[in-house]
Chains A and B, each alone.
Chain A
Amino acid sequence: MTGAELVLKVLQQHGIKHIFGYPGGAIMPIYDALYDSDVEHFLCRHEQGAAFSAIGYARSTGKVGVCMATSGPGATNLVTGLADAMMDSVPVVAITGQVFSSLIGTDAFQEMDVLGMSLSITKQSFLVQSLDELADILHQAFEVAQSGRPGPVLVDIPKDIQVGSVDFEPYPIAQKQVPDFDAQVLADAQALIKAANKPLFYIGGGVGMADAIDEMQDLLAKTKIPAISTLKALGTVPADYPYNLGLVGMHGNQAANHAVQDCDLLICTGARFDDRVTGKLDTFAPNAKVIHLDIDPAEISKLRQADISILADFKKLLPELAVTTEISPWQQQVAELKTQYAWRYDYPGDSIYAPKLLNLLSQKLPFDHAVSCDVGQHQMWVAQHMLFSSPRNHLSSGGAGTMGFGLPAAIGVQVARPDCMSVVVSGDGSFMMNVQELGTIRRFKLPVKIVLLDNQRLGMVKQWQELFFEERYSETNLSDNPDFVTLAKAFDIPALTISQDDQIEDGINQLINTDGPFLLHVQIDDKENVWPLVPPGKANHDMLEGEKV
C-alpha cells in the first residue's frame, strides 16, 4: 500500500472514524486515499475550524480528535487550535502534508518549517523522514497524545512518503502505563486531610481528563469535604452536592473565593494554580497547607510550593483518600457562604438579562446536551449560570481563551455525539471569528443550536476599559455588526431575534424544538458587566461586586 493508505489504516487501528480537515497540494495523496476509505472526513471551511472541531470531538468524548491540513498556510492555520489544545491538555493528532523531502529547505511553494513552528504549541511533533518510520511515528503520536497529561501531537508527512509504497504490519497497541505512588506519602496525605479543620478540594480539568469523575464524586460523597472548581472542572462536582462552591477565581463565586482564602488545607486535584484562579499568587489560600495531586511532575510546586505531592492516575489514587473527617463547623460555614452569595435573577426590567436567559436555558435543555462557548463576558456567564453534569458537557477555551472556539467546537461535539444536543453560546465578536463554519453545519446538516449574545461590543475588553482604562473605549464598538438572522438564513439555518425579557421563554423553546440547527440572536444591553470580579493584582477576597444595569 502507499504511505497515504497506511496513514488511514493506522488511524482506523486507533479507532478513529471521523476526521476534520481541509485539502491542498502537499496532502493530496492522503485525500486521494480518503476517497476509498471508511474514515469519514468532515470538510471544514478553515483549518482553524478543523482544529477546534477536533478539540470539541476530543473534549466531549475523552477520545483523540484528528485534524488534517496541507503544508504552509494550511498548517499555520492549525497553529492556534493546537496551541489551544496544548494549554487545555486536549488529546489531538494533527496530520499535515509537507512538500517533497528533496524540496524541504529550498523555499519551495508552500514549504514552511512546520516542525519548527510546532515546537512550542504541541506536546510532541514529528517530521517523518522515511517510509520505514511512518507507521511507528503515527502510533507514537496516538500514544503520546493520550498518555500522562494529554496534549496535541503533530505529524508532518512529506509528499514523497505519502506516495511511496510500504507493507502494512499490524502493531500491538501498548497499554497505558500508570505511575505507582508511595504508600508512605499516601499515608501522610491521609493524615493531613484527617487533621485539617477546613479542608477544601480545588478541582481542575485533570479529574475529567483522567476519566475519574465517578471516583471524585465518590470521594466527595464519603468525605463531605467542600469543593471549588476551575473553569475546566465545571461539571465534575454534582450540582446538588451540598458543599459544591462552584467556580473559583477572577469571575468565580464569592462563596468559592472566600472559602479558598479561609481554608487550612487545599487539596489541589488536577489543577495548576493558574493566575485566573489565584489572583495575586502570594495571597492565595494564605492559611492553607497544600496537597498537590497530578499526573504531570512539572506542575508540582511550579507556582505554589506543595507540602505533599502525589503523582498518580486519579482512578487509582482518589479512592485511597476517603478518610473520615470531623469538619461540621466548616461545612456549616460553607453552607452559609453559599446561601449568602447565591445568584439571583429576579431583577425587574424589560430588557434581557443574559445570566437569567442562560440559567433558564440550562434548565430546559434535554439531559444529553453539551455547551461550547466562545470567549468574553458570555463565556463567564455560561460558567456562572449554567449547570453541567460532566466536564465533557462544558467546552470552554480556558488556558488560551481563544475567540472563535465555540462554533467549530460545537460541530466537533455534534459529530462525536450525534444524539446529544450540541449548543454553542457565542458573543457577537467571537462568532465572527469562525463564522465560516456555518457552512460546515449546512453541509453536514448538523443540528447545532446557536445562542448569540449580542451586546454590539467586544464586551469583556470594554468592561476592562470601563473599570481600568478610564472609560476610554478604544476599538471595542461592534455596532455595525451584520444582520445575524439574514446571515444564518444564507446557510439555511432558521433564526430569531429576541430583545425583551418576555420573549426569552419562546426564544428558548424555538431553539430547542425546531428540528435541525437554529440561531437565537439575543440582543442585550452593552452596559451589562460580569460580576463579581477580582481585579488584576488583587487577592481573591477583594472581589468587586457591581450592579445589574
Chain B
Amino acid sequence: MTHTIKLKANSRPEVMERILRVVRHRGFNLEEVLMKQCQTTNSTKITLKVSGDRPISNLETQLNKLYDVSQLELHQSTATADSAVAMNA
C-alpha cells in the first residue's frame, strides 16, 4: 500500500530527520517528500508518500506522538502495483 501523509511540525533544524527516522524504523519506505518552511508561523509543512505492508495506523500514531508534530492527516491510501498483484493472486 502507498499512503500520503500531511504533517505540520515545529520548525526545528532536526525535525525532518526525526520524522524520517520514525518512518524507516516503523517499517515504511519513503517514496516522495515535500517540505516547506513557514517563517510567519515558525512551522514546517511536510507531505510524505510512504509505502509498506504494515498497518498505516501504527505509523500515524507513532508520528503523531512526536512532540514536534502538531498536526497529521492521512490523505490517501492506494494499493501499489506490487501489492495489487499480491492481492489478486
- Chain A positions within 8 Å of B, measured between CB atoms, are 115-116, 119-120, 123-124, 126-127, 129, 140, 144, 148, 296-298, 300-302
Closest A residue to B21 by CB, please name it: A119
Count of chain B residues with a beta carbon within 8 Å of a chain A beta carbon:
17
- Chain B positions within 8 Å of A, measured between CB atoms, are 12-14, 17-18, 21, 25, 55, 57-58, 61-62, 64-68
16 A-B contacts (beta carbon < 8 Å) = A115-B14, A116-B17, A119-B17, A119-B18, A119-B21, A120-B25, A123-B67, A124-B68, A127-B13, A127-B14, A144-B67, A296-B65, A297-B61, A298-B64, A298-B65, A301-B55
B65 contact from A115, A116, A140, A297, Cβ within 8 A: A297
Kindly list chain B residues whose C-beta atoms are within 8 Å of the C-beta of A301: 55, 57
C-alpha gap A297/B58 in the complex (Å): 9
Query: Closest CB-CB distance, B31 to chain A, in whole Å?
Result: 22
Kindly list chain B residues whose C-beta atoms are within 8 Å of the C-beta of A119: 14, 17-18, 21
Q: Is the CB of A124 within 8 A of B67?
A: yes
Query: Closest CB-CB distance, A308 to chain B, in whole Å?
Result: 16
Closest B residue to A115 by CB, please name it: B14
Query: Closest CB-CB distance, B39 to chain A, in whole Å?
Result: 16
Kindly list chain A residues whose C-beta atoms are within 8 Å of the C-beta of B13: 127, 129
Kindly list chain A residues whose C-beta atoms are within 8 Å of the C-beta of B58: 298, 302
Kindly list chain B residues whose C-beta atoms are within 8 Å of the C-beta of A127: 13-14
C-alpha gap A394/B55 in the complex (Å): 35
Query: Closest CB-CB distance, B16 to chain A, in whole Å?
Result: 11
Closest A residue to B63 by CB, please name it: A298
C-alpha gap A148/B17 in the complex (Å): 23
C-alpha gap A197/B39 in the complex (Å): 59
Q: Is the CB of A298 within 8 A of B67?
A: no
Q: Is the CB of A298 within 8 A of B14?
A: no
Kindly list chain B residues whose C-beta atoms are within 8 Å of the C-beta of A115: 14
If A297-B64, A297-B65, A300-B61 are given as contacts, then 15 extra A-B residue pairs at C-beta distance below 8 Å, sorted by A number, are A115-B14, A119-B14, A119-B18, A119-B21, A123-B67, A124-B68, A127-B14, A129-B13, A144-B67, A148-B65, A296-B65, A298-B58, A298-B61, A298-B62, A301-B57
Q: Is the CB of A116 within 8 A of B14?
A: yes
Closest B residue to A124 by CB, please name it: B67
User: Which of A144, A298, A300 has the most chain B CB atoms inside 10 A of its CB?
Assistant: A298
C-alpha gap A129/B13 in the complex (Å): 10
Closest B residue to A302 by CB, please name it: B58
C-alpha gap A120/B67 in the complex (Å): 13
C-alpha gap A296/B66 in the complex (Å): 11
C-alpha gap A19/B58 in the complex (Å): 36
Closest B residue to A120 by CB, please name it: B21
C-alpha gap A124/B62 in the complex (Å): 13
Query: Closest CB-CB distance, A102 to chain B, in whole Å?
Result: 16
Kindly list chain A residues whose C-beta atoms are within 8 Å of the C-beta of B66: 124
Kindly list chain A residues whose C-beta atoms are within 8 Å of the C-beta of B18: 119
C-alpha gap A127/B14 in the complex (Å): 9
Query: Closest CB-CB distance, B13 to chain A, in whole Å?
Result: 8
Closest A residue to B58 by CB, please name it: A302
Query: Closest CB-CB distance, A419 to chain B, in whole Å?
Result: 36
Query: Closest CB-CB distance, A177 to chain B, in whole Å?
Result: 14
C-alpha gap A450/B67 in the complex (Å): 39
C-alpha gap A439/B65 in the complex (Å): 40
Closest B residue to A149 by CB, please name it: B65
C-alpha gap A167/B62 in the complex (Å): 37
Closest B residue to A147 by CB, please name it: B67
Closest B residue to A125 by CB, please name it: B14
Kindly list chain B residues whose C-beta atoms are within 8 Å of the C-beta of A300: 61
